[in-house]
């Protein structure tokens, strides 16, 4: 038993604790790449709260389901991390690789197949929707980011190549399965019913990002107001 002279040792919250070689600049970069999943969780929470978009909430729900799958797979497979490993717990599959693969593939599926902005490619006075080429470029960049994060786990010796590959496969499969599921609830009308539910209306839940760019919500209204204000000021001058 511990006493006042023999206090209980403190534990470390290792959520953002990353081992890297301080003499290696690439290792240092990989340590920062390892924090991308935590950063994406902050982005999820911020966008859900600020936009109330159901599509973002659904994407995050799928991300949580993907993490639950990773938790179960690790404890079912029980494969250890590499020799002289960094990190605790089982290594198969890589949770980082699975997390970013789900996110990147989900974003690519959304941008290429679900996001259909009105008058795509037509430039209006204060906005031009993303073209298919622009959406394809963003999709490739997202997949490249995911591949870099996954590779960093091998470089930092947290996982073997096989553990990272299986993590990428599990994340990709989760993204495709969740995309098909959300497509089904959209087509059957369940999503429309949910968004129109009194609780959802009270929380100001909306479903606009499928047809308009996220940054566009409210921008045209604001720009029109500023143009009207400038017009009134010009009239006063003349």
Q: Taking 60 as the threshold, does the pLDDT of residue 4 lie above it?
A: no
Confidence of residue 166 (pLDDT cuts 50, 70, 90): very high
| Measured distance CA(107)–CA(236) in Å, rounded | 48
Confidence of residue 237 (pLDDT cuts 50, 70, 90): low
E strands in 30-117: none
Confidence of residue 43 (pLDDT cuts 50, 70, 90): very high
Give CB contacts under 8 A, 24+ apart, made by 38-46: 40/99, 40/100, 40/103
Average pLDDT over residues 16-21: 76
C-beta separation of 94 from 158 below 8 A: yes
Res 129: pLDDT:
76
Structure-block tokens of residue 161? 């190549």
Q: What digits encode the pLDDT tens for the residues 109-165?
A: 999 998 887 655 555 666 677 788 888 999 999 999 999 999 999 888 888 899 999
Structure-block tokens of residue 96? 């980082």
CA dihedral for 130, 132, 137, 143, sign (positive or negative): positive
Query: What is the residue whose two structure tokens read 């479903």?
Result: 207
C-beta separation of 158 from 86 below 8 A: yes
Q: Taking 70 as the threshold, does the pLDDT of residue 7 lie above it?
A: no
| Measured distance CA(149)–CA(48) in Å, rounded | 24
Q: Taking 90 as the threshold, does the pLDDT of residue 12 lie above it?
A: no
101, β-bridge pairs: none
| Measured distance CA(80)–CA(76) in Å, rounded | 12
CA dihedral for 19, 60, 66, 170, sign (positive or negative): negative
Q: What digits encode the pLDDT tens for the residues 57-71?
A: 999 999 999 999 999
Picking from 102, 92, 101, 103, the residue whose alpha carbon sits closest to that of residue 159 is 92
Q: Taking 90 as the threshold, does the pLDDT of residue 214 lie above it?
A: no
Confidence of residue 185 (pLDDT cuts 50, 70, 90): very high
Average pLDDT over residues 166-180: 96
CA angle 161, 78, 144 (to 5 degrees): 30
C-beta separation of 65 from 178 below 8 A: yes
Q: Taking 60 as the threshold, does the pLDDT of residue 2 lie above it?
A: no
């Amino acid at each position: 038993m511990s006493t006042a002279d023999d206090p209980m040792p403190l534990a470390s919250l290792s959520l953002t604790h990353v081992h890297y070689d301080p003499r290696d600049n690439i290792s240092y970069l990989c340590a920062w790449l390892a924090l991308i999943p935590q950063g994406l969780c902050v982005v999820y929470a911020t966008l859900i709260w600020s936009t109330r978009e159901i599509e973002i909430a659904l994407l995050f729900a799928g991300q949580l389901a993907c993490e639950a799958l990773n938790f179960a797979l690790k404890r079912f497979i029980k494969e250890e991390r590499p020799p002289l490993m960094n990190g605790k717990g089982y290594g198969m599959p890589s949770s980082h690789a699975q997390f970013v693969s789900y996110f990147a593939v989900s974003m690519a599926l959304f941008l290429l197949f679900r996001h259909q902005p009105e008058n795509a490619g037509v430039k209006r006075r204060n906005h031009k929707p993303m073209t298919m080429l622009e959406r394809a470029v963003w999709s490739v960049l997202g997949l490249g980011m995911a591949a870099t994060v996954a590779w960093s786990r091998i470089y930092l010796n947290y996982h073997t190549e096989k553990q990272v590959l299986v993590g990428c496969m599990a994340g990709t499969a989760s993204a495709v399965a969740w995309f098909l599921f959300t497509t089904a609830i959209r087509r059957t009308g369940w999503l429309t019913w949910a968004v129109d539910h009194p609780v959802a209306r009270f929380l100001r839940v909306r479903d606009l990002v499928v047809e308009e760019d996220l940054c566009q919500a409210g921008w045209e209204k604001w720009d029109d107001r500023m143009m009207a204000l400038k017009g009134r000021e010009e009239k006063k001058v003349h």
